[in-house]
Structure 1
Amino acid sequence: MTINETVSRNVRALRIARGWTQEEAGRRFGELVGAPWSNAVWSAAERQTRPRDWSATEIALLSRLFACQIGALFQPESPIPTCPTCGQEVSR
């Protein structure tokens, strides 16, 4: 798994753990970056099959958005375990 795939997976897991829709996450992220991300943009960012090429600025702002350490976004194991099929949080 590439770094970008890992970040995308962790972004999805962190969003789901907070109970946010992609629309809500995009709106909240937009407050940090100055323009909201649409559902399509947020969905594409979470996609692991064609992951986003995350910038350093985006990584820093994601850390702020999710109130987590930057390193948590790079953890090979998702910070919140999710079902590989539906993406929903599962218990450990």
Structure 2
Amino acid sequence: MRIEEVVGRNLEQLRTARGWSQARFGEEVGSHYGKAWSRATVSAAESGARAFTVADMVLICLIFEVALERLVVLPSEAQAVAVGPATYQRADLAPIGWSAAPTKRTYDDVLRQMDRLHHELEEILDVATTAQDRGRAIRVTLLRLGNVEALKALGVARGEDAWFENERNEEP
């Protein structure tokens, strides 16, 4: 896999996680860069057919509010990456911060969970009328997402062990 394909694939994941079309992303580029990207330019970038400048990558990170390293996350199935004329094995990339083995939980998994949480919380804020309702709804949402650590941080840290166990056994 070429590095341009890696960056393009990650760009596409960031864009689709926001629910943006290629045209919408191109407009966002224009609002930051002064000149919009056409849908064809976005398509070329996402397919790896377009080289990225450092300025492009910084701009993308600013638009999506992510760290620069997010754009170069190797897919778990990629065992090597071509950078210019050279190809590097995943293990060769460890000195620059890329893991020698695929991580158990990828950024994609985290992005999907964050997107689900975002939508759940939007729904909660639409119907919850009091702070107490909102707090309970947020805890139930975390429970539904299986985020036991966050629940413990919210509940158990405040001595709400009984609530945690009751909610865990109730149907949300």
TM-score, normalization by structure 2: 0.44
1:5-84 superposed matches below 5 A? 5-48=5-48, 51-77=49-75, 79-80=107-108
Q: By how many angstroms is 1:6 displaced?
A: 0.4
Q: By how many angstroms is 1:44 displaced?
A: 1.2
C-alpha distance in structure 1 between counterparts of 2:107 and 2:25, whole Å: 17
Select the structure that is richer in strand. Answer: 2
AA matched with 1:80:
D
1:27-48 CA-to-partner distances (Å, cap 9, x unmatched) read 0011111111111111111113
Structure 1 residue ranges without an equivalent (≥5)? 82-88
Identity %: 34
C-alpha distance in structure 1 between counterparts of 2:107 and 2:15, whole Å: 11
The equivalent residue for 1:86 is none
* Structure 2 CA distance for partners of 1:79 and 1:52, relative to 1, 3 Å: farther
C-alpha distance in structure 2 between counterparts of 1:56 and 1:31, whole Å: 18
Structure 2 residue ranges without an equivalent (≥5)? 76-105, 113-172
Work out the number of aligned pairs and report it.
81
Where do 4+ consecutive residues of structure 1 move more than 6 Å? none
- Which of structures 1 and 2 has the bigger CA Rg? 2
1:19-70 CA-to-partner distances (Å, cap 9, x unmatched) read 000110000011111111111111111113xx21100100111110111000
TM-score, normalization by structure 1: 0.79
> Relative contact order, CA 8 A, sep 6+: which one is greater?
1
The equivalent residue for 1:85 is none
Select the structure that is richer in helix. Answer: 2
